[in-house]
Amino acid sequence: MIGIGITIASAVALVCGQGPVTTASTTVQTTASTIPGAPQPSGIPTIADPSSLVIPFIGTTNGGHVFPGATIPHGLIKAGMDTDSPGNHAGYDGDPKFNVTGFSQLHDSGTGGSIPLSNFKLFPFLQCSTFEKCPTTIVNRKILRKVLPDGSPDDFASPGYFSTNLTNSIRVELTATRRTALHRYTFPAGTTHPRLLVDITNDGQRSSTEPQMTLDPNTARVQGGASYAASFGPGRYKAFTCVDFKGAGYDLGKPTEYGVWLSNFPVRGTTDLLQVYYGFISEMGALFTFPPAPGGGPTSILVRVGVSFISASQACANAQEEIPDFDFEKVHADSRAQWNDLLARIQVDTRGVEEETVKLFYSSLYRTHISPADYTGENPKWNSTEPYYDSLYCNWDTYRTLYPLMSLHDPVTLSKIVRGMIDIQKHEGWLPECRGATVMHFIQGGSNADPILAEFFVKFQKQAEALQVSATDLYNALLADAELQPPNWNLQGRQADLWKELGSPIVYSQYVPQDTATLIELQGGPESFIARLNFIFDQDYFESTNEPSQQMPFMYHYANRPGLSTQRSRQVIAQFFNTSTNGLPGNDGAMGSYAAFYLLGLYPLPATSQILLSSPYFRQISFFNPVFNTTTKIVSKGFAGNPLDGTGGQVFVKSVAVNGKPYKSNCYLDWDVFVNGSLVELTLTDDITVSCGTGRDALPPSISTGGYS
Ligand SMILES: *[C@@H]1O[C@H](CO)[C@@H](O)[C@H](O)[C@H]1NC(C)=O
Ligand SMILES: *[C@@H]1O[C@H](CO)[C@@H](O)[C@H](O)[C@H]1NC(C)=O
Ligand SMILES: *[C@@H]1O[C@H](CO)[C@@H](O)[C@H](O)[C@H]1NC(C)=O
Ligand SMILES: *[C@@H]1O[C@H](CO)[C@@H](O)[C@H](O)[C@H]1NC(C)=O
Ligand SMILES: *[C@@H]1O[C@H](CO)[C@@H](O)[C@H](O)[C@H]1NC(C)=O
Ligand SMILES: *[C@@H]1O[C@H](CO)[C@@H](O)[C@H](O)[C@H]1NC(C)=O
């Protein structure tokens, strides 16, 4: 039961109080204080430090491929531990039997494909018999983490921070700004020759070509980079780094030994990769020996690692600008404050709710904001003043729930991602689909930037200009997507010639989520539709790991049986999601935003102004939307907790009132509810036979029934 072990480990670490700004405890913290920027309606005790409720290790075993290291929201830098696990797509594996190979700077989270972005690993050596005998290759240098008495690894993570203890008692801590990582290596007392390695070539895949590196023997600054393979596409990308060292609490001075290493051969006194042997393209870098801290106590060395996709000198400039003074505590505090500002925009009332559920919610919300990554200023392909977002793995996964969740509480980031997508279309001719590491990846089907742009425009057209999104450019990008046949549909993602041959997609409607009424008709009416849905779930045909299935548990709404949706969606959470390291059914993808919506009792229909409604797992929830400057609160009357297996309970929505007036439907909310900032009151019952209501607008709209006009 490794998974449970990890949860306990992080709880233990929380109790121990990691890091100077961590005010965490294992109990849910609520204070009466107001969070700046997030005015709360009275009556919901405010969670001021939601970061303390995030468990970054969820999904770090069992194929979740979740990144648990240090990053800011949508940071380019995702500094984390790399292991030699076969499932190390995000570098880390929560199973302590796997060895540590280094601490690298980029990473993706929750993806398949080949290992992406494990670039520029650092690695500490406690004692090599000599500089030349340091085992520098990955296979030779790797080391296990310490294991706690319960069998879990001695690792800790919280938003913006990661730490571990290696079996040689070196402690490693990581924190990050957008384009710069800050590492702290603490060598045990008595260490005489603290050594640190920089790996320029290994990206997790051993794909590097054209490596370059120089080191400065006086300052120990390392500048370098190479060309690397993308994760699941034909493209390659270049990345560059700039690494600087500083003693923590003492003057580090000059390195006492320095040199380039190739494979297992550190060559003392060399400064330039190209001067020495060439050919070990997967194993090259720099190695330093530093003077230990005076007095014989523990030696802490800070390492600042800038990364750029443009040049090593830009990596240096980024690092100097973002972390001028190597202040680990300040960087950590800033990073956590950014997370708290974001996460606290959605508040939940924790009274009467399992702590596991509260942590599952904030951890899921947290993972919604790891990717895409903000590469603004780091686009190597063209110069632009527009934002540039990358790691869009993949729109097929994310358009359904990730961007609609952003619409509720983080529309400014959504607007920047949309601007970035439009800018890519302007320069390359095609909206991005599975872009990562600055290049196109193979797509999963369809043309799913369209519903993301439309999601933004349907909900924020009045604010588009203020958010610097050009309606004309957005329309032109959609038009190009619909009209132009690309050279490689599996990279650019659309087969315009097909619809032109077969007719308008509106007439031949291919798209079920927006026309479920027609689907029900084709399947013989509501009763047989319900029977088919039941059959899918009862036979275990429901594919919890695949984003296109995500709406299915909510589709009973369209057959006027919302109680069945409530029960199915809660059963999905009970069966497939928990806070253990194996608590995800598969690759994370957009599972974070999906689980968050289910826990909020909502499911969005992307690019429409409707959100399907069920009952939240909390007696009260609220969303602060910074663009509208409004807060919407959903209150459940008769809330009586959540059945652990998702079955039964007083969780079914009998009636809905908005701002004190009966609402037209018990099954969905229109977007204006969230624009205005409303009080939504649900009355709950234990009767699963509830309906959407009796009025003309009670059923959620479909295109064929005149919806979305
Ligand atoms: C980790 O490294 C240790 C020491 O080199 C080795 O004994 C062990 O087999 C390694 N574990 C794995 C999973 O490779
Ligand atoms: C590592 O060891 C230090 C003591 O040196 C301890 O404070 C910390 O809790 C341990 N665990 C982690 C994950 O940092
Ligand atoms: C962007 O502008 C800089 C400065 O003028 C120039 O050096 C660089 O080549 C430009 N990049 C591209 C991709 O055009
Ligand atoms: C957590 O969920 C996974 C599957 O998603 C499951 O295998 C595991 O047993 C669950 N753990 C607990 C403690 O419920
Ligand atoms: C946002 O709304 C609050 C009241 O809820 C008001 O005090 C504040 O001035 C508003 N801010 C802006 C920028 O309009
Ligand atoms: C939201 O505000 C608009 C404009 O004041 C109003 O027309 C609309 O009815 C309101 N919607 C709700 C759900 O209160």
Domain residue extents for the chain: 4-52+372-483, 53-339
Say how far apart CA 83 and CA 96 lie, in whole Å.
Answer: 9
3 state DSSP class of 662: strand
Phi, psi for 334 (deg, rounded to 5)? -65, -45
The predicted structure's pLDDT at residue 45: 78
Gap from CA of 659 to ligand 6 centroid (Å): 10
Cβ of 173 closer than 6 Å to ligand 2, yes or no, is no
Nearest CA to ligand 3 atom 8: 383
Nearest CA to ligand 6 atom 5: 676
Cβ of 676 closer than 6 Å to ligand 6, yes or no, is yes
pLDDT averaged over every residue in the chain: 91
Q: Which tokens belong to 677?
A: 């900032």
Say how far apart CA 622 and CA 627 lie, in whole Å.
Answer: 15
Q: Which tokens belong to 346?
A: 């959605």
The predicted structure's pLDDT at residue 706: 82
Say how far apart CA 81 and CA 368 lie, in whole Å.
Answer: 21
The ligand with the least distance to the CA atom of 664 is: 6
Q: Which tokens belong to 113?
A: 């494909």
The ligand with the least distance to the CA atom of 83 is: 1
User: pLDDT above 90 covers what percent of the chain?
Assistant: 82
Cβ of 283 closer than 6 Å to ligand 2, yes or no, is no
Q: What is the pLDDT of residues 611-635, one digit of tens each?
A: 999 999 999 999 999 999 999 999 9
Query: Which residues contact ligand 3 via a Cβ below 6 A?
Result: 381-383
Query: Which residues contact ligand 1 via a Cβ below 6 A?
Result: 84, 97-99, 142, 144
Q: Which tokens belong to 604?
A: 């969005």
- Please identify, by atom number, the ligand 5 atom nearest to the C-alpha of residue 631: 5
Nearest CA to ligand 3 atom 6: 383
Cβ of 672 closer than 6 Å to ligand 6, yes or no, is yes
Please answer whether residues 590 and 402 qualify as being in contact, where contact means their C-beta atoms are separated by less than 8 angstroms: yes
Mean pLDDT of 302-312: 98
Strands (E), 190-333: 195-199, 209-215, 222-229, 236-247, 257-262, 265-268, 284-289, 299-308
* Residues 6 or more apart whose Cβ sits within 8 Å of residue 608: 458, 514, 701, 707, 708
Say how far apart CA 87 and CA 634 lie, in whole Å.
Answer: 40
Angle between helix axes 411-428 and 471-483 (nearest 10 degrees) is 50
Gap from CA of 97 to ligand 1 centroid (Å): 7
Q: What is the pLDDT of residues 370-388, one digit of tens each?
A: 999 999 999 999 999 999 9
The ligand with the least distance to the CA atom of 626 is: 5
Q: Are strands 257-262 and 209-215 parallel, antiparallel or unpaired?
A: unpaired
Q: What is the pTM of this model?
A: 0.93
- Please identify, by atom number, the ligand 1 atom nearest to the C-alpha of residue 143: 2
Cβ of 656 closer than 6 Å to ligand 6, yes or no, is no
The ligand with the least distance to the CA atom of 152 is: 2
Nearest CA to ligand 1 atom 12: 98
Say how far apart CA 699 and CA 280 lie, in whole Å.
Answer: 64
The ligand with the least distance to the CA atom of 298 is: 2
Our CA dihedral for 593, 596, 602, 603, rounded to 10 degrees, sits at 30
Gap from CA of 144 to ligand 1 centroid (Å): 7
Please answer whether residues 345 and 409 qualify as being in contact, where contact means their C-beta atoms are separated by less than 8 angstroms: yes
Angle between helix axes 591-600 and 355-367 (nearest 10 degrees) is 140
Nearest CA to ligand 1 atom 13: 98
The ligand with the least distance to the CA atom of 381 is: 3
More confident residue, 183 or 501: 183
Cβ of 164 closer than 6 Å to ligand 2, yes or no, is yes
Gap from CA of 278 to ligand 2 centroid (Å): 40
Say how far apart CA 246 and CA 692 lie, in whole Å.
Answer: 63
Q: What is the pLDDT of residues 128-170, one digit of tens each?
A: 999 999 999 999 999 999 999 999 999 999 999 999 999 999 9
Nearest CA to ligand 6 atom 4: 676
The ligand with the least distance to the CA atom of 143 is: 1
Q: What is the pLDDT of residues 572-589, one digit of tens each?
A: 999 999 999 999 999 998
Cβ of 644 closer than 6 Å to ligand 2, yes or no, is no
Gap from CA of 646 to ligand 4 centroid (Å): 14
Cβ of 178 closer than 6 Å to ligand 2, yes or no, is no
- Name which of 193, 90, 199 is nearest 141 in CA terms: 199
- Please identify, by atom number, the ligand 1 atom nearest to the C-alpha of residue 85: 13
Gap from CA of 514 to ligand 2 centroid (Å): 51
The predicted structure's pLDDT at residue 4: 26
The predicted structure's pLDDT at residue 115: 93
- Name which of 291, 288, 259, 287 is nearest 272 in CA terms: 259
Fold of the 53-339 domain:
Beta-galactosidase; Chain A, domain 5 (2.70.98)
How confident is residue 279, by pLDDT bands cut at 50, 70 and 90? low
Say how far apart CA 436 and CA 416 lie, in whole Å.
Answer: 17
Cis peptide before 372 (omega within 30 of 0): yes
pLDDT for 31 beyond 90: no
Cβ of 462 closer than 6 Å to ligand 6, yes or no, is no
The predicted structure's pLDDT at residue 66: 97
Give the HSE-up count for residue 171: Cα atoms under 13 Å, Cβ half-sphere: 14
More confident residue, 491 or 633: 633
- Please identify, by atom number, the ligand 4 atom nearest to the C-alpha of residue 582: 3
Nearest CA to ligand 3 atom 1: 383
Say how far apart CA 565 and CA 585 lie, in whole Å.
Answer: 20
Gap from CA of 227 to ligand 3 centroid (Å): 19
The per-residue b/e assignment along 340-373, b for 16 or more CB within 10 angstroms, e otherwise, is bbbbbbbbbbbeebeeebbbbbbbbbbbbbbbbb
- Name which of 580, 178, 555 is nearest 389 in CA terms: 178
Cβ of 527 closer than 6 Å to ligand 6, yes or no, is no
Q: What is the pLDDT of residues 647-678, one digit of tens each?
A: 999 999 999 999 999 999 999 999 999 999 99
Span 4-52+372-483: which CATH code? 1.20.1050.60
